[in-house]
Amino acid sequence: MNGIEANFIFAPRPHSDGAEVVIDVTKGLSKLLALSPTGGYEYHIHVSPVGPDSDCMATGGHLDPYKVGSVKCDAFRPAKCQEGDLSGKHGELMATESGAIPTISYVDRQLRFSGAEATIVGRSVVIHNNGTRIACGDILSFTSEAYRKATDSGNARVAQHTANGAQESASGGLSHTAVMSGMAAMVLTSL
Share of the chain above pLDDT 70, in %: 73
Give this prediction's pTM. 0.80
CATH 2.130.10.10 fits 5-186, yes or no: no
pLDDT at 128: 95
Name the average pLDDT for the chain.
Answer: 78
Give 28-70 pLDDT, tens digit per residue: 999 988 898 888 999 999 999 998 888 999 999 999 999 999 8
Q: What is the pLDDT of residue 138?
A: 86
pLDDT at 142 over 80: no
pLDDT of residue 36: 85
Among 54-68, 92-106, 167-181, the range scoring the smallest mean pLDDT is 167-181
Parallel, antiparallel, or unpaired: how do β-strands 93-94 and 40-46 relate? antiparallel
Domain locations in the chain as residue ranges: 5-186
Exposed, middle or buried: residue 52 (CB in 10 Å: 0-12, 13-18, 19+)?
A: exposed
Full strand arrangement of the beta sheet holding 40-46 = 93-94, 40-46, 124-129, 132-141, 176-180, 183-186, 5-12, 19-27, 101-108
pLDDT average, residue stretch 88-106:
95
The Cβ of residue 184 has, within 10 Å, a number of other Cβ atoms equal to 30
Task: Report the range out of 91-100, 136-145, 171-180 with the highest average pLDDT.
Answer: 91-100
Is the predicted pLDDT of residue 100 greater than 80, yes or no? yes
